[in-house]
């Protein structure tokens, strides 16, 4: 049987990490977090928990790897095409009335959803007056997102997603390919700002018309979810939109009273 990190050991690790690096994972959903920690523990073949802990305490570079591996970075372009179709049809026409559009991708991971949004905005002829702020707790993925470089191997599926999302152009016209990688149109970057931001600890940094935070909150406990919803509430203009993952909901949070779900998709509008 594989060696597993116990609850007590995980509590020790989380304490160390908060103490030494200032990252607080204590309000993360434990079952999932423990699975990620066990996965890393097995992946890096530590002979004992003590060595795992020692490495984390003493090797800052290894802590970087810990953040990379513990956070979930599974994402794709136009993931859940029906969601992007709803954005095109139900949200962008309303955003079009603003002189300037600010979008926040909270938990942007490697940037696939940010580029998807940029494509939507360009096709709606709104990108010229938009800025997309893309943040993640993990500096490594933020850097990757900012590069605008993606692996070639997923482009076929992304192209299919794009078409299902209502896209009418040739998806490959948005990037240039080479060496099994693709580089997205660099003019998109003029409208993107990338930065690290920790939803569990940091405050609001702007006011937005649209906040997109999909499949991030499921990794948090209910109390932290509620805190992040408050953060989104203070970061949204009145009548701004909040978009969540397909299995996430505002329903159980106190902030729910200020929002109304405006789509079959997980899109809410701040009404107060």
Partner 1 sequence: MAKSDLSNIPGCVVIGGSAGSLKVILSLVTALDARLPFPVVIVLHRKNDASSLEHLLNDRCPLRVKEAEDKEDLAPGTVYLAPPDYHLLIESDHSLSLDASEKVLWSRPSIDVTFQSAAEAFGHHVLAILLSGANNDGASGLEYIRHHGGQIIVQDPDNAEIPVMPRAALARLRPDLLLPDYAMAAAINHFL
- Contact positions toward partner 1, by CB under 8 A? 1, 7, 29-32, 34-36, 72, 74, 215, 217-219, 221-222, 225, 245, 247-249, 252
Pick between residue 121 and residue 217 the one whose CB is nearest to partner 1. 217
- Closest contact distance (angstroms) between CB of 124 and partner 1 is 27
- Angle, helices 7-21/30-43, rounded to nearest 10 degrees: 90
Owner of token pair 């998709």: 265
**Integer Cα distance of 219 and 208 in angstroms:** 24
Pick between residue 35 and residue 260 the one whose CB is nearest to partner 1. 35
What's the token pair of residue 223? 């109390």
Pick between residue 151 and residue 187 the one whose CB is nearest to partner 1. 151
- Closest contact distance (angstroms) between CB of 35 and partner 1 is 7
**Per-position DSSP letters for 70-86, written without gaps between them:** HS-----TTSSHHHHHH
- Closest contact distance (angstroms) between CB of 131 and partner 1 is 27
SS3 25: coil
Pick between residue 119 and residue 224 the one whose CB is nearest to partner 1. 224
- Closest contact distance (angstroms) between CB of 220 and partner 1 is 9
Short-list 68, 72, 81, 60, CA closest to 159? 81
Q: How many Å is the Cα radius of gyration of the chain?
A: 19
């Amino acid at each position: 049987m594989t060696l597993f990190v116990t609850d007590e050991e995980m509590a020790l690790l989380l304490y160390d990490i908060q103490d030494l690096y200032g990252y607080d994972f204590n309000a993360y959903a434990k079952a999932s977090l423990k699975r990620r920690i066990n996965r890393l523990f097995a992946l890096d073949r530590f002979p004992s928990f003590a060595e795992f802990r020692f490495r984390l305490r003493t090797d800052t570079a290894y802590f970087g790897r810990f953040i990379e591996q513990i956070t979930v970075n599974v994402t794709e372009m136009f993931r859940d095409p029906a969601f992007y179709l709803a954005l095109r049809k139900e949200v962008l026409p309303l955003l079009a009335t603003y002189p300037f559009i600010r979008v926040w991708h909270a938990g942007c991971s490697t940037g696939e959803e940010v580029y998807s949004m940029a494509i939507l905005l360009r096709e709606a002829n709104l990108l010229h007056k938009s800025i997309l702020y893309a943040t993640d707790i993990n500096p490594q993925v933020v850097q990757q997102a900012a590069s605008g470089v993606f692996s070639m191997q997923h482009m076929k599926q992304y192209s299919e997603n794009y078409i299902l999302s209502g896209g009418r152009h040739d998806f490959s016209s948005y990037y240039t390919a080479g060496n099994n990688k693709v580089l997205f149109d660099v003019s998109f970057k003029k409208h993107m700002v990338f930065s690290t931001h920790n939803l569990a600890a940091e405050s609001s940094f702007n006011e937005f018309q649209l906040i997109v935070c999909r499949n991030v909150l499921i990794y948090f406990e209910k109390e932290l979810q509620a805190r992040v919803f408050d953060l989104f509430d203070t970061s949204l203009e009145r009548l701004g939109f909040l978009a969540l993952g397909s299995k996430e909901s505002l329903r159980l949070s106190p902030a729910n009273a200020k929002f109304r779900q405006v789509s079959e998709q997980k899109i809410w509008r701040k009404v107060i």
